[in-house]
Each structure stands twice: as C-alpha cells, then as structure tokens.
A and B are shown apart, each in its own frame.
Chain A
Amino acid sequence: MDALSSPELNAVLHQPVRTRIVAYLAARGETTFNELKQALEITDGNLDSHMKKLVSVEYIQSKKQTAKKGKQQTLYYLSEIGRHEFENYIETLKRLLSPQFLP
C-alpha cells in the first residue's frame, strides 16, 4: 500500500456491532453476555452471531467462573490479538480522517 492509496480496514472489526463490542471490552476488561447485551441494546441472537465471529478469529476469549450457588458464568475479554487489531483499526480510521483522504 503506498502513501496515497486508501488504507485497508480490518473486515472483521469494520462492522458497527462488532466495533462496539470490541470497544466496550477494551474499556471494561471482562464482562458477561448479559452485560454486553444490555450495553449494546441488541437481541441475544444478534449478539451471539457477532460473538461467534469474534471468537473464531481469536479476538475475543472466554473463561468460566463459578458464581454463587455453584452456577457457571462465562466471562468474555479481549485477547492480545484482539487488542492489537483494535488499536491498528483505530489507527487506520484516524488515517482515513487525515486531510489527504477527505473529499
């Protein structure tokens, strides 16, 4: 890619819901499915499909935690790869907003 060509955006992250999921996790640390659903205000099915996509590319990892009464709780967090890709994605967005790419 030369200096004047459009920078390439990460296809996985360049999707509004997935961007919001990753941004939320970057700030929050770890969270449950329910909390994510409330924060994003989307349906279970919609969130589930995007989570599956992010887990499949290893941007998001999960771990089990035993809650009260022995109930298992799944916590989701951003992996090192996910954090790195998210930072690169933000850099790319910033470059797109630089004067050379503005109409």
Chain B
Amino acid sequence: MLANQASDQIEAIHTMMASGHRSVHMERHTLILWGLTTAFLILVGGAIFTHERFPVSWIRALSVTTFITIVLTAVAYFDFYLIRRSRDEREESISFVQLQVTKVWWLLVGLIVMINLGMHFYGGGYMFYSLVLIIMGLALYIHGLFSRQMLALAGVMMILLGLASITLRLPFPVIEWLTIFCFGLGWPLLGFTLNHPRLNKSLKYRLSFSLLWLAIVTIPTVAIYQSGRLEDVPETTPIPLTQYLQQGETVAVTEEVVTIPAGTIVPLKVELSGDVLEGLNVTTLPMLLSHPIDIVLSDGKPDGRFRVAQGPWKKHVYNYRIRDFSMTSILDRDTGPQVQLKLRLSTNN
C-alpha cells in the first residue's frame, strides 16, 4: 500500500519536474517577426547592395553587415519587448532557462552575420543560405528541446534542408528561394499552428504537419525557380559562330544566340596580382573548348545566359566557379623560383 503510494508520488514528481524544465515558451510573434524580417533582408539586401552601387568590396561588406546588424538588433529588441509585455499580460514570468535560450538564439543570429561578413573576404558565398538554414534550424531545435517538440522537429527539417542543398549542389537561386519561403512562409505558419493542441499531443499529427510544412516551403520554391528558368530560355534560334563573325555589326538584333563549337580555341585573359607578386602584364592562355556552348547576346553583348551541349540554360553569375584551387612555390636550380597555380574552371553550381 505504502509502496504503491510512493511509486505514484515519484511518477508525479517526474512529470512535474519535466513540466518545470519545459518552461520555455515560443511566442507566436517571435516566429512571425524573425521569419518575415529574414525573408525581407534576403529579398531587399541583394537589390540594395549591388556591385554597381558599391564597387569596392570591403565597403560593400561593411555596408551590408551594418545594415543587417541594425535591422536584426531592432528585431531582437522589439521581440524581447513583446515577449515581456505578453508575459506580463498573462501574469507569467520569463524563466531562467528561457533567458539562456534567448541568448543562444541571439548568438546564433550573430554568428550568421559574422559568416556573411567573412564570406565577403574569403569566399564561399554560394553556401551562405544553406548555412543560414542550418544555423537557424539549430536555433529552433534548441528552443524546441525546452518548449515544443514541433519546434524541434521544424528545426531538424531546416537543418536537413540546408544539408541537402549543399550535398545535392542545388542551384544558388533555388537555395535562396528555399530560404525565403522557409522564413517568410514557414515560420509564420509555425507561429500560427504551434499551440494547436493536436500538434502537441500526437506524434502522428506532428509528422503529418511536418510533411505539409515541407510541401508549403518547397513547392513555391520549385515553381518560382522553374518559371525563372523558362524566362531564361531565349526565343531566337542559335546561329553558328562562323555566321555570327561573318555578319559583322551591320545587322542590329536585340537578342541572338551564338553556338561556339567544341574544339574552338578560346583565349583566356588572366590578370593576376598579390601581396608579394605583381603581374607585369595581362597574360592570354589558349584554352580548348571541350563541349559546344550556346551564349545569348543582348544588344550585341553576352548577357550572362549560356548552356553547355544543349543542356539547361544557366546564368553565369550562379554557375561560374573556381574549384580545386592550389598554389605551390618551387625553387629549382635549372629554372629558378616558380609559383605553380592549379585551378579548375567549372560551369556547374
């Protein structure tokens, strides 16, 4: 009899202690505020801080970082103000754990800002949005560990989306739109549904909602990317390079497509500079084109659209990459000092 009572009491203690430890509460406005702000920053940031407006890279880097920092600090302050206000209205306190989780959240947001700044100087920008998905997914996951399981699940989904975008080498615009929809659509949706009783009681509902959430985030991404790709397809028929060269500048065409055949020798102009080495002149390296390439000319100039061997149309800004870069110095008695530079030019994202 006494042992049964003791067993019941211990079970009640476990339950209440678990409930006490899960004292962190995600407010609806937090997800809406951070989600919409992040989507806004991605959409607007790229349009404001262009190479044309900010040609000097370090000025552009500092301007972007300052802008992002000001916006995110304002959001963090406003979010915390709203959290305190809603807690006061409900006569609730902000627990010690909630304060620590909030600090972790701010640290992770700060980490993203620092990564963004670093990538302006050290490269790797095409991975930025994947890292944003992974890091903010981690922030959601940590929050979810102390509050709602659905949040932890959403965090895991974002981490997986980020990892998948890197491992599957998704095109940059896809990752960018995926991030925009994750934050601009996925987070507010989470905010509105998080406290639904069914989501918090049944794993089946949580898994179903996760699949729905993934669909809501990925379907618009694919739709926008596909419509963008259709816009990239030129309407004119390709003409061979020989015909283009023969016709001269007499024919005024707004858009034309020129096919450069495989086997063409393409001179590669190289301008190099460095802190201890200075280029004396522009060197031209002859390169052999291994596959035919179609390039689009708008008003007589390449507009950045191209395709390799009748493949999909691409934009050079997202697909020209330098990979497998290495530099070694050699000191040979016969030839003297040499620097060997190896790199691979890629047209795949």
Query: Interface of A with B (CB < 8 Å)?
Result: 6, 14, 16, 19-21, 23-35, 39-40, 65, 67-69, 71, 73, 75, 90, 93-94, 96-97, 101-103
Contacts and interface: CB of A to CB of B under 8 A. Distances in A.
Given A23-B17, A23-B20, A26-B20, A34 B92 contact: yes
Given A34-B91, A96-B2, A101-B2, A19 B9 contact: yes
Interface in B80-133: 84-85, 88, 90-93, 95-97
Contacts of B12: 16, 19-20, 23
A85 B7 CA distance: 18
Given A35-B92, A67-B84, 11 more contacts: A19-B9, A19-B12, A20-B13, A24-B16, A27-B18, A27-B20, A31-B23, A31-B93, A34-B92, A40-B16, A93-B10
A6 B9 contact: no
Interface of B: 2-3, 5-10, 12-21, 23, 84-85, 88, 90-93, 95-97
B95 A73 contact: no
Contacts of B95: 28-31
A90 B91 contact: no
Give the secondary structure class of B's interface. Answer: helix
B21 to A, nearest CB: 5
A71 B20 contact: no
A61 B21 CA distance: 20
Contacts of A34: 90-92
Contact of A16 (B7, B9, B10, B92): B9
A101 B3 contact: yes
B3 A97 contact: yes
Contacts of B7: 97
B201 to A, nearest CB: 15
A68 B3 CA distance: 48
A14 B176 CA distance: 58
